[in-house]
Chain A
């Protein structure tokens, strides 16, 4: 159908040596009520690899993600995915939101939710074929939830729900992933599973941008970090960016002991 053809000429990925960043944000500002939640953030994501977005509470980390994805309106700024406007590159993007935003009583099971990730590929008005369902099962299997495929989502535990959301993003087969605190409040088994999946994605050359809640574990998991406190404090490889000075700027005096270079 014409829709699918349009989908193919969209979702453009330039060759790797062209040096185009998967995500390029310029001058992004977001206003909440009477204040700026985010001021003038400009940043280019590294190609491939895991990026942690950190900052104190209220720093605008989730807002940053949502503004980039167009889920909240931006006051100013542009967002480009692989050099093109976001709207044309939707097929390349995957999003794992925070858990609370969903109605857990909804009449869908885990497989239904994961398959939703493939609707962009299936096309509007068309049937879900067996191939897509199998891809959904494969994604569930990757997060260790294959046995729960037919469970209604409200019957899953917190960690299991998080894994289903992750599987949905995997089913999208995106190049650029956005995750909002994927490791927050999950049990140890889920945490291991999610970390393993993140490493697999990195090995596949995809880029993952995660809002991460726990400074202590950033260095062990992520290669790059983006430090926000309503504006860009610092960004770059974890080793060189997570310094005392930057931590003080982002968090204030208390956090400086966590730096790698102390």
Chain B
């Protein structure tokens, strides 16, 4: 069993883990409001709907710079959210069908755009979109564990990590300041409307925030992981608590554990079984998030399946 040396760990694994950590934390945080509002699949819709935006950004800018592609993605995601809402209200189509029609059509548009002229020559790698490029995040600053104590080292933190940390800080600020408004709109939009808070606006805001987290995360961890992290930590927390502050805190904890644990498992796990290559971090993190959710489903103290069975059996004799 060969563990990586300190330098490799600090330069390759640490920045990748930090990127994954912040991406997962952002998604876990915003995902709470999607799950509570029964819009869990918005993450899936967004990940597919951004494809034409990314390609359009590339075609318009003519370069493979990330900024035009990210902008295109954001525009596409927000448009998708608006289109879905429009189809739902104008067509009186139910939410799932509206989402399905819009995101698949946008995805198809993206697939076609990829095949046109300039986009075809350049290899807009489908793999990148799906799994991200955590392996490509490198940090040349640190030289040994002690250098982490030196602020100068942190100045050379890779762009992706800084970006993701900023997005997380932004989302955290919004959620902390407007927690009661977000809770109100998620719980009872009709009351929000009668109190004068336009629930429709807040709902669009939540989707926009989710799109921001998702798109910031795509480059690093890819779309599969984003979908998983928008749902699984929040769903896990749902089974473990009964109040909003606990829900938020637990989902962040679950997100952090999943990110770090999943990365470690993906990077070093295969070596434990004698397999030479590491398994992509995105896939292993997504798998771990599902595993943790499964554990919560079975073993949650009050809302888990086993707990419910025990409760049912305990009350049954009393009813007999």
Contacts and interface: CB of A to CB of B under 8 A. Distances in A.
A and B touch in the complex (CB under 8 A): yes
Contact of B194 (A95, A112, A122, A124): A95
B188 interface: yes
B244 A108 contact: yes
A95 B190 contact: yes
A108 B187 CA distance: 9
A10 to B, nearest CB: 9
A107 B246 CA distance: 9
B194 A71 contact: yes
A49 to B, nearest CB: 22
A219 interface: no
Interface string A79-117: 000000001001101010100011101111100110011
A71 B192 CA distance: 11
A12 interface: no
A120 B238 contact: no
Given A71-B190, A95-B190, A125-B177, A112 B244 contact: yes
Contacts of B196: 87, 90-91, 120
Contacts of A101: 188, 190
Interface in B151-192: 177-178, 180-181, 183-184, 186-188, 190-191
B178 A125 contact: yes
Given A101-B190, A103-B187, A108 B243 contact: yes
Majority-rule SS of B interface residues: helix
Contacts of A125: 177-178, 181
B243 A107 contact: yes
Given A97-B190, A102-B187, A124 B178 contact: yes
B241 interface: yes
Q: Looking at chain A, what size class is its interface with the partner chain?
A: 20 to 34
B291 interface: no
A119 interface: yes
Contact of A107 (B188, B190, B241): B241
B197 interface: yes
B193 interface: yes
A112 B195 contact: no
Contact of B187 (A69, A91, A116, A124): A116
A112 B243 contact: yes
Interface string B234-255: 0000100111101100000000
Contacts of B241: 107
Given A106-B186, A108-B187, A125-B178, 14 more contacts: A70-B193, A71-B194, A90-B196, A91-B196, A93-B194, A95-B191, A97-B190, A102-B188, A103-B36, A106-B36, A107-B36, A112-B183, A112-B244, A116-B191
Interface of A: 69-71, 87, 90-91, 93, 95, 97, 101-103, 105-109, 112-113, 116-117, 119-120, 122, 124-125, 128, 152, 168, 172
Interface of B: 36, 38, 177-178, 180-181, 183-184, 186-188, 190-191, 193-197, 238, 241-244, 246-247
